[in-house]
Structure 1
Amino acid sequence: MKLIMMYLVVLSSVVITGCGREDFVEISYNPDFVRLVENGRVNTVEHTHDGAGVRWIRGKVIAGEGQGIPEKFKVRITSRQLQEASTLFKENNVVFKVVPPKPMAGAYVTPMILPLLIALIWIAIIFFVLKLALRLVRAVERIAENMDK
């Protein structure tokens, strides 16, 4: 039982800390992202959104001077900015891909853990009831022994 509890604690800590988290650093749309595209420092970008509906453009900076921009970046955009960015991509020959959002780790883990957790709770309840029943039987046996004396 202790092993199962330790397993659940480790598994939940992995899920909570965000396993599979991507290392994209958020930058501003204007001027940082626009300047990168206009200067030819970006050749491919991906458009995606998270589960909450927030739209992102992700990409990598082509090697060059640092200028404080991280290698992997993401930009939070609105619908209007996405239309502007599409025109900007066409003008600067940037390849634009639409990527479906990746489900969070919890989306994979929850269907596996929930039935296990329910089963463990039922096993614990049955164990507790059987333990109480055994105590009750022993108490009845003691009472019967005392009455025979």
Structure 2
Amino acid sequence: MITKFSPDTVHETAGYSHVTISEAGRLAHLAGQCPLDLGGAVVGEAGDYAGQTAQVIVNCLAVLAAAGAAPEDVVRSVIYVVSPDSTVLAAVWDQLNASPLAPAFGTASTLVGVASLGYRGQLVEVDLTAALRDEPTTDRD
């Protein structure tokens, strides 16, 4: 069970919750998802935040599904964007929240502008933690 709330003793949020509580159980800690295609190449032209965000969404949905989770199971997210410009950060946030991944960002969430990320030309990365509902049905390598 996941409980999300924001106490009235702190500021209102832009759609996320100040507190996310998950009952004791299994968690999936997903590696930061980058805008890489199946071949490992960075997607998008220089400055293509929307294209890179779209690929990050695809990758996040794929790894969540592989872990046996859905966006609704995410208990924590951190979004990294290479930009000091709050309008760029807001545009990435808005795109994420208009996507099928949107429920992941209603929990405890952090949006950070950074100087650089791991791949040349990379502009966006999303790090997720999900609470898993059921015991695993198969072993994984």
Higher strand fraction: Structure 1 or Structure 2?
A: 2
Bigger Rg over Cα? 1
Q: Which one has a larger percent helix, Structure 1 or Structure 2?
A: 1
Q: TM-score, normalised by structure 1?
A: 0.24
Q: What is the TM-score of this pair, normalised by structure 2?
A: 0.25
